[in-house]
Amino acid sequence: MTADVSVRFVNVDDELAAPLLADLEREYDGRYGDFFGEPASTELLRYPASDFEAPHGAFLVLLADGEPVAGGAFRRYDEHTAELKRVWTHPGHRGQGLGRRVVAELERAAHERGYRDVTLTTGPRQPEAVALYLASGYVPRFDPSRPAEEIGIHGFDKHLDTAGVLA
């Protein structure tokens, strides 16, 4: 893993969040094109920035040598459930466990804010994300034996127990 990685909670409009959001847009457009009938920017702008701010949400980046290398966010889904969004790792830093760290840090922050559960969705053309969520203990709301394109949006849920979040 990249040495000396630190966690910083920021606002969506913080300059440290800009590379994450720009790369997500580029990657989503590259993977999906018009598959969902809209450009990635529509999804990235679907929720107001305030959804990702305390007390109900959070937006974090992992920094290596002061540069964003990974990040993600959560927002309130319901009274007891946080929804993970915008989980990203810089292409040059993938395969180093940073995505798992982002998910774990988001889960920890969600638990500290009183959430008991986490939900999320990812797309059919993101097998790395599906693998990350399965490896992180998320339960699929779909039949994983079906073809990804047939499933469409892949939904996952996870209960946050104290032992799992703080381990």
Which residues have a Cβ under 8 Å from the Cβ of 102 and sit 6 or more positions away?
60, 62, 70, 71, 72, 87, 88, 89
Q: Which residues of 116-145 are buried (b: 16+ CB within 10 A; e: fewer)?
A: ebbbbebbbebeebbebbeebebeeebeee
Query: How many other C-beta atoms can be found within 10 angstroms of the C-beta atom of residue 31?
Result: 13
Give pLDDT, residue 166: 45
Q: Is the per-residue pLDDT at 162 higher than 80? A: no
CATH number of the domain that residue 13 is part of: 3.40.630.30
List the domain range (segments joined by +) for residue 140: 5-166
Give pLDDT, residue 3: 63
Per-chain mean pLDDT for the chain: 92
Q: pLDDT category, 167, cuts 50, 70, 90?
A: very low
Query: 73-126: per-residue pLDDT in tens?
Result: 999 999 999 999 999 999 999 999 999 999 999 999 999 999 999 999 999 999
Which pTM was predicted?
0.91
Q: pLDDT category, 39, cuts 50, 70, 90?
A: confident
Three-class SS state of 139: strand
Domain count, the chain: 1
Say what percent of the chain tops pLDDT 70. Answer: 95
Q: Is the per-residue pLDDT at 40 higher than 90? A: no
Give the full edge-to-edge strand order of the sheet including 67-78.
5-9, 58-64, 67-78, 81-89, 117-122, 154-159, 139-140
Q: pLDDT category, 161, cuts 50, 70, 90?
A: confident
